[in-house]
Chains A and B, each alone.
Chain A
Amino acid sequence: DAKTTQPNSMESNEEEPVHLPCNHSTISGTDYIHWYRQLPSQGPEYVIHGLTSNVNNRMASLAIAEDRKSSTLILHRATLRDAAVYYCILYNQGGKLIFGQGTELSVKP
């Protein structure tokens, strides 16, 4: 399974944008880039995914580098409820979701 690299932790101020980076230099052409987040004592929650083009949804935006070797999850206005561990995962249809260590995001009021 192709691996991803994320910073262990990041801090943000409330109501400011947050950019969470992810490196995936060994990504294959059929790998989707998925982001999940996990709040304490809960199961992971789907955030967003993409293949080649940038994506937007109500939760976040996903910016994918042209060579697809890195991506950035963008939370436009962080709230205290966005404090969680964010996981960037490469997913191949029919494959398995393998979690790395993720980035623990803390949001300061």
Chain B
Amino acid sequence: GAVVSQHPSRVICKSGTSVKIECRSLDFQATTMFWYRQFPKQSLMLMATSNEGSKATYEQGVEKDKFLINHASLTLSTLTVTSAHPEDSSFYICSASKGPLDSNGYTFGSGTRLTVV
């Protein structure tokens, strides 16, 4: 089956620093990857869609300069939280799709717990 690896699983960083989260599709090529964030007791909120070789598409209200997304290859997308602040502390989850014709939907990573102190 499809496997998506997300790293790191947990990270603590100081306020004002940047943090990079990696999302890899291990056994398939993902033309599209998605980034979500989830606050405690809430549902997943889609942040952006990452397409290989092109700019990411951000959802309304998500700051593209703060959440930098790079999808340089068909197996790797990265999310960089720049100048992190405590309110950016959240659970970040990536997912990947084999492509628009794949009706099986998405495979999700195990998530990254970010704590900004």
Instruction: Give residues in A with beta carbon < 8 Å to B.
Output: 32, 34, 36, 38, 41-46, 49, 51, 87, 91, 93-94, 96-102
Contact A43 B101 (CB under 8 A): no
Instruction: Give residues in B with beta carbon < 8 Å to A.
Output: 4, 6, 34, 36, 43-46, 49, 91, 93, 95, 100-111, 113
Q: Which single residue of chain A is at the shortest CB-CB distance from B93?
A: A43
Contact A43 B95 (CB under 8 A): yes
Partner of A98, one of B46, B93, B110: B46
Contact B43 A102 (CB under 8 A): yes
Contact B49 A44 (CB under 8 A): no
Contact A49 B105 (CB under 8 A): yes
Contact A42 B110 (CB under 8 A): yes
Q: Which residues of B contact A102 (CB under 8 A)?
A: 43
Q: Which residues of B contact A94 (CB under 8 A)?
A: 100-101
Q: Which residues of A contact B101 (CB under 8 A)?
A: 93-94
